[in-house]
Amino acid sequence: MRADLAVSYGDERLPRYTSYPTAPHFSPAIGGDTYAGWLAELPAGASASLYLHVPFCREMCWYCGCHTQIVRRDDLIAAYQRTLRSEIVQVADTIGRRIKVEHIHFGGGTPTIMAPEAFVELMATMRQAFFVLPTTEIAVEIDPRTLTADMVEAMRLSGVNRASLGVQSFDPVVQRAINRVQSFEQTACVVDMLRRADIAGVNFDLIYGLPHQTVASCLDTVRRALALAPDRFSVFGYAHVPDFKKHQRMINEAVLPDGPARHDQACAIANALKEASYVQIGLDHFARPDDSMAVAFQERTLRRNFQGYTTDKAEVLLGFGASAIGHLPQGYVQNHVQIGAYAQCISAGRLATAKGYGLTDDDRLRADIIERIMCEFGADLGDICARHGAEPEAMLKSASRLKPLISDGVVRLDGDKLAVARDSRFLVRSVAAAFDAHLDPGKQLHSRAV
Ligand SMILES: C=Cc1c2[nH]c(c1C)Cc1[nH]c(c(CCC(=O)O)c1C)Cc1[nH]c(c(C)c1CCC(=O)O)Cc1[nH]c(c(C)c1C=C)C2
Ligand SMILES: C[C@H]1O[C@@H](n2cnc3c(N)ncnc32)[C@H](O)[C@@H]1O
Ligand code: SF4
């Protein structure tokens, strides 16, 4: 990583490009009727992936940037599970046939907060509504502090084969400052339970840039995490947006690492994981060399969606639950974020779409370029433009933000082939942003590029 560039570009507030255009561009002009039309028009033979959002946790982690809320009452979770099942049936009915499912992802919040029987029931509803194959990847986000043996059994019975554990940091000082105390033993016990239940694919989420974090603290977390040998790591830089997420005000800004410290932490973690033979993938992932994500990266079939990097090849992503986002050939849809508004729509027999975006041909071309840059640190503009009936020259001419990146040695252009320099890969968001026709630099509420 080049420290000089971290100084000049690292403070840019840029999107993470989990979609193009990004979610702030979604408009309320797209609602349930549009979504219903899009679903009914899905091409025959289309396969889909499913994302289910469970927006509940028992206690708030102060760094949290996810759509979640604190619940103590289990009846609210039970009611939400019933709404999810109605939504699944409604969407499948609107499609009008049972389509094939490649991936299922339970995210949150904390999906494992559901009663184990409720989880089994929900998976059964999905298997009735869609064609879930034995090879379908079924992944669940897990909070190791609250996972029970009964829930592990429910996941095993339901065919779950991947788990993503929130680890963040093993440092007790950091843990107290983020209101998330989680012992190494708790995490180790959960990994053991999952492996015994044949839930073989394990991912750990780590964060750097948290209050009181240092390079030494990050390296100690990595050392302990490596002892549990997860297949993958996701390593995020803490996104501090207290105007947007009020509970982040509980974090003392005076003890947050500054830009250069964040940069050192990111480098230290990446080097330690690479030293332990993990392959660095895209912006924030690491995987064992034989892991399917490492293979997808090597074979250049890696994709990017709202969950981040994925091996998912489906062209359709159906989102269920409050705030869930879907991606169809026609565009994006997002459900109401508020659980009340979401549930009201579903119980009235309407789809819960609050906003969305209809893609133009130009959006599709730019989305392709940005996805390849985010996934491969490069893009064959000639090839991509040809697929969209466009000219690479015109595209390059419109990308005026590329010029300084080229003169700073961040980007190399070889004819129509664009490549991000190896030592500048942490600036991949800045390179992608050069192709973002919707970027409004005045109105950014995004996290820092580093
Ligand atoms: C599992 C936890 C999630 C994280 N992000 C999302 C989930 C479900 C998805 C998500 N979060 C935001 C958006 C934008 C649109 C919206 O509905 O508000 C989406 C699709 C909001 C958001 N998350 C973060 C920030 C800084 C913002 C607001 C501004 C912005 O859009 O950039 C930070 C953040 N949240 C998560 C991560 C990994 C992360 C940053 C590293 C978790
Ligand atoms: C889903 C994963 O997202 C990460 N996560 C949640 N909130 C934030 C944030 N504000 N900044 C960075 N990463 C975050 C955690 O690592 C969690 O496990
Ligand atoms: S990080 Fe996970 S457990 Fe913590 S509040 Fe956010 S969703 Fe809940």
Q: Are strands 162-168 and 131-142 parallel, antiparallel or unpaired?
A: parallel
Evaluate if residue 450 carries a pLDDT over 50. no
**Measuring from atom 25 of ligand 1, which residue has the nearest CA?**
65
Q: Is 256 in the pocket of ligand 2 (CB under 6 A)?
A: no
pLDDT, tens only, 373-407 = 999 999 999 999 999 999 999 999 999 999 999 99
Token output for 432: 């992608």
The closest alpha carbon to 382, from 370, 394, 371, belongs to 394
Three-state DSSP state, 79: helix
Average pLDDT over residues 367-373: 98
357 in a known ligand binding site: no
> Domain 21-320 sits in which CATH superfamily?
tm_1862 like domain (3.80.30.20)
The single residue listed with the structure tokens 């991509």 is 384
**Ligand 1 proximal residues by C-beta, below 6 Å:** 23, 65-67, 107, 236, 239, 241, 244, 306, 323, 325, 445-447
205 in a known ligand binding site: yes
| Band of residue 9 on the pLDDT scale cut at 50, 70, 90 | confident
Say whether 21-320 and 1-20+360-450 share the same fold.
no
The closest alpha carbon to 104, from 314, 280, 299, 283, belongs to 314
Residue type, 357: Y
Supply φ then ψ for residue 441, to 5 degrees. Answer: -60, -20
Ligand 2 centroid to Cα of residue 337, in Å, is 18
- How high does pLDDT run on average in the chain? 95
| Band of residue 441 on the pLDDT scale cut at 50, 70, 90 | low
The closest alpha carbon to 399, from 366, 364, 435, 430, belongs to 435
Q: Is 109 in the pocket of ligand 3 (CB under 6 A)?
A: yes
The single residue listed with the structure tokens 């300084």 is 404
Judge contact between 354 and 35, C-beta under 8 A: no
**Measuring from atom 12 of ligand 2, which residue has the nearest CA?**
238
Q: Is 116 in the pocket of ligand 3 (CB under 6 A)?
A: no
pLDDT, tens only, 71-102 = 999 999 999 999 999 999 999 999 999 999 99
Ligand 3 centroid to Cα of residue 65, in Å, is 8
Mutation to probe ligand 2, out of 53, 63, 164, 240 (largest number of atoms < 8 A from CB): 63
Q: Is 113 in the pocket of ligand 3 (CB under 6 A)?
A: no
Evaluate if residue 448 carries a pLDDT over 90. no
Average pLDDT over residues 361-372: 98
CATH number of 1-20+360-450: 1.10.10.920
**Measuring from atom 7 of ligand 3, which residue has the nearest CA?**
109
pLDDT, tens only, 289-302 = 999 999 999 999 99
Domain boundaries, the chain: 1-20+360-450, 21-320
Q: What is the pLDDT of residue 5?
A: 76
The complex scores an ipTM of 0.92
345 in a known ligand binding site: no
pLDDT, tens only, 216-274 = 999 999 999 999 999 999 999 999 999 999 999 999 999 999 999 999 999 999 999 99
Average pLDDT over residues 315-344: 98
Token output for 402: 């590329």
Token output for 323: 């705030």
Q: What is the pLDDT of residue 159?
A: 98
Q: Is 65 in the pocket of ligand 2 (CB under 6 A)?
A: yes
Identify whether 21 is preceded by a cis peptide bond (ω within 30 of 0): yes
Q: What is the pLDDT of residue 7?
A: 66
The closest alpha carbon to 156, from 105, 113, 194, belongs to 194
Burial class (CB in 10 A: 0-12, 13-18, 19+), 440: exposed
Ligand 3 centroid to Cα of residue 186, in Å, is 16
| Band of residue 443 on the pLDDT scale cut at 50, 70, 90 | low
Q: What is the pLDDT of residue 34?
A: 98
Ligand 1 atom closest to 234 (CA): 38
Ligand 2 atom closest to 248 (CA): 10
pLDDT, tens only, 179-222 = 999 999 999 999 999 999 999 999 999 999 999 999 999 999 99
Q: Is 6 in the pocket of ligand 2 (CB under 6 A)?
A: no
61 in a known ligand binding site: yes
Q: What is the pLDDT of residue 364?
A: 98
Supply φ then ψ for residue 386, to 5 degrees. Answer: -60, -40
pLDDT, tens only, 115-135 = 999 999 999 999 999 999 999
Ligand 1 centroid to Cα of residue 64, in Å, is 9
Q: What is the pLDDT of residue 134?
A: 95
